[in-house]
Amino acid sequence: MNESQSADQFIFLMDRLAEKGYHHYEISNFSRKGYEAIHNSNYWKSKKYLGIGPSAHSYNGKQRFWNISNNAKYISSLSKNLLNQEEETLTHKDIANETIMISLRTSKGISKKIIEELLKNRELEIFQTKIKNYIKSNLIFEQNEFYILTQQGKLFADRIAMDLFIDTEYL
């Protein structure tokens, strides 16, 4: 399938599911109101979460942790009162870019307040200039202090997010 056919099918899907009463609450998730999956909801909201079990991931706001994926090794380490996991400490740039990417994927969008608190000086100026261009292009709209992808913008969600990413720490 080429890119144009894929876009047409995604638009058809969005329209058809909306007609049937489904809410497009995350770029790849639809549900009826009140039946949204809660499994990844903290991830989409950049909130802290704890993952338990093999391959489970956790996040404390500054670091991400993940358990080994091998069931036998995971159980063996627990029997020795060990938690076999890896971790990464997120930089300001990591947190900012992840917030932009994840928030943009949701129907709520990117909170202006959170972005203004998160981005510093020149980072915020660049972000706001880019957002204004996406608004002019009808790929993003502003509502209730949030920047939200339009239906057309959802076709370019990853590209838009990448363009909004900050390039360096505290420009």
Question: Whole-prediction pTM value?
Answer: 0.85
R_g over Cα of the chain: 19
Quote the domain boundaries for residue 110.
106-164
At which of 25, 54, 89 does a domain end? Answer: 89
Task: Express each pLDDT in 104-114 by its tens digit.
Answer: 999 999 999 99
Cross-sheet strand order for the sheet of 57-59? 57-59, 63-67, 85-89
Q: Are 127 and 166 in contact (CB under 8 A)?
A: yes
Task: Express each pLDDT in 11-30 by its tens digit.
Answer: 999 999 999 999 999 999 99
pLDDT score recorded for residue 169 = 60
**Longest distance between any two alpha carbons in the chain, whole Å:** 59
What span, in angstroms and rounded, lies between the C-alpha atoms of 67 and 83? 7
**67 and 31 both lie in a single domain:** no
pLDDT score recorded for residue 138 = 98
Q: Are 68 and 84 in contact (CB under 8 A)?
A: yes
